[in-house]
Amino acid sequence: MPYAIAAKLAHPDRLVVALAGDGAMQMNGINELITVSRLWRHWTDPRLPILVLNNGDLSEVSWEMRETEGNPRWADSQDLPSFPFARYAELLGLAAVRVDDPGAVGAAWDAALAADRPMLIEAITDPEVPLLPPHLPEGTARQLRDTLAAEADHEHLEDQLRRQALTGVQANR
């Protein structure tokens, strides 16, 4: 969010898009929304779509611990408290929508790009979708499979890994 605000201050006539996870939004993004709510009326182009990927987890750290350290997910350090990002943005006078259906994503973006003010899109996402590079080294992949096998919901996690691997193979053709 700070970079999006800086870009908007440097070029108030241009469209700027901000993307953040729920962890980053809880660390400082909710405070930056206050700044946006104060400044946007001075921008030539008031649009600032803000996408918050909300999965209730510090996903980057959770998956890094699994991939590089072979440690299973530790909920006490990774779970985030629930926060109503869209409702909070509305309280600040910004436009907002909460999206929990993939079929509603296009309409949410259309609304954000047509809005007369900054708009926050709170997208509810699955914390079990791996944040993996397209080609995972075999040793890392083996360690990750072993780590996931020790977790309670390992079938769902393994299914997500298979889907992502298949998508990566198809994209590289």
- Cα 99 to Cα 170: distance, rounded to the nearest angstrom: 27
- Whole-model pTM? 0.76
Examine the domain organization and report whether 64 and 112 are in the same domain.
yes
Neighbours of 107 (CB within 10 A): 12
pLDDT at 118 over 90: yes
pLDDT for residue 58 is more than 60: yes
The answer on 104 and 61 residing in a single domain is: yes
Q: How far apart are CA 46 and CA 26, in angstroms?
A: 24
In the chain, the N- to C-terminal Cα span, in Å, equals: 35
Looking at residue 150, its pLDDT comes to 72
If you average pLDDT over every residue of the chain, what do you get? 83
Q: What percent of the chain has pLDDT over 70?
A: 69
Residue 55 has pLDDT above 70, yes or no: yes
User: Given a cut of 60, is residue 43 above it in pLDDT?
Assistant: yes
Residues spanned by the domain of 141: 131-173
Per-residue pLDDT tens digits for 141-163: 777 777 777 766 667 666 766 66
Same domain, residue pair 61 and 73? yes
Q: Are residues 58 and 140 in the same domain?
A: no
- In which residue are the tokens 């298949």 written? 166
Do 96 and 142 fall within a single domain? Answer: no
Are 79 and 140 in the same domain?
Answer: no
- Count up the domains in the chain and report the number: 2
Quickly tell me which residue has 């709510």 as its tokens: 37
Residues 33 and 63 in one domain: yes
User: Which of 23-32, 45-54, 144-153 is least confident?
Assistant: 144-153
Same domain, 139 and 111: no
Q: Are 29 and 54 in contact (CB under 8 A)?
A: no
What number is the average pLDDT over the span 94-111?
Answer: 97
Residue 4 or 73, more confident: 4
Mean pLDDT of 64-72: 68
Average pLDDT, integer, range 114-137: 83
Give me the CATH number covering residue 51.
Answer: 3.40.50.970
